[in-house]
Amino acid sequence: MTNPSPPVDPAPAARGRPRDAALDRALLEATLEVLYEKGYGGLTTSAVAKRAGVSTATLYRRWKSKDDLVVGTAVRWAHDLGPGKDTGSLHGDLTALLTDKARTLDGPGGRLLHVLIGESAHNPALARVLDDAVVQPVRDRAAALLERAVARGEIPLAQNPRVLADLVVGAMVSRVFLTPPPEPAGPGREAGPPPPAGEAMISELRPFLLRALGVSPR
């Protein structure tokens, strides 16, 4: 799967030379690469600047500190799930949500999340960013799909979208980041390439969630 470069928000209007969006993108991509290779503790602004081919002064004109740079990278790489489309059924809407989240976790945004989860436990600013950028879009999608399911008469009204979102995020993060890959096939058994961990989780998580919502899986 190919992943587009992260969008870069336009800089606010200011006097003087406007910011170079391509340079911003290069610094954000360099931050992601260094984080993935060395972790949060091993990341330095000088290493990021060197990877991007710029001076540290250029970096500091855009982000005032290491934390500021990492937070900016998290915001830009996080995948905005959006409101989602009405597929006509709870089964279809839930499948679309799980598929979109799996793609996020299997891509650069997921790798970034993997690196930053531990750091966010004692970095409140980063924790808030990750909650807003990673978890809140799932909460919004969960609330919308449950409202549609109620309107169709598929489920009763007393459903908590926050719990559904927590189940989606928690289960998929656990499978993608904490579960070891399956053992290789034994002698005489063909072993094709395993599906991405996030995608593999969909077929297991979807029927469980449907049953929890009071709907029989197909």
- CA–CA dist 131, 145 (Å, integer): 20
**DSSP string for residues in 172-201:** HHIIIIISPPPPPP-TT---PPPPPHHHHH
At 21 the pLDDT is: 85
* Structure token pair of residue 77: 């790489």
Q: Is the CB of residue 43 less than 8 Å from the CB of residue 81?
A: no
Domains in the chain, start-ordered, CATH in brackets?
21-65 (1.10.10.60), 90-181+194-212 (1.10.357)
The Cβ of residue 212 has, within 10 Å, a number of other Cβ atoms equal to 12
Rounded to the nearest angstrom, the gap between the alpha carbon of residue 86 and the centroid of all alpha carbons in its chain is: 22
Question: Could you read off the pLDDT of 144-156 as tens digits, one per residue?
Answer: 999 999 999 999 8
Of the candidates 157, 161, 158, the one whose C-alpha atom is nearest the C-alpha of residue 93 is: 161
At 16 the pLDDT is: 43
Amino acid at 14: A
Return per-residue pLDDT of the chain as tens, 218 residues: 444 444 444 444 444 445 688 899 999 999 999 998 999 989 999 999 999 999 999 999 999 999 899 988 888 877 666 678 899 999 999 999 999 888 888 877 788 888 888 888 888 988 988 888 888 888 999 999 999 999 999 998 866 888 999 999 888 888 878 777 666 555 555 544 444 555 677 888 999 999 988 888 87
Beta strands, E only, the chain: none
* Structure token pair of residue 81: 């799930």
| Ramachandran quadrant class, 39 (left: phi over 0; alpha: psi -120 to 50; beta: rest) | left
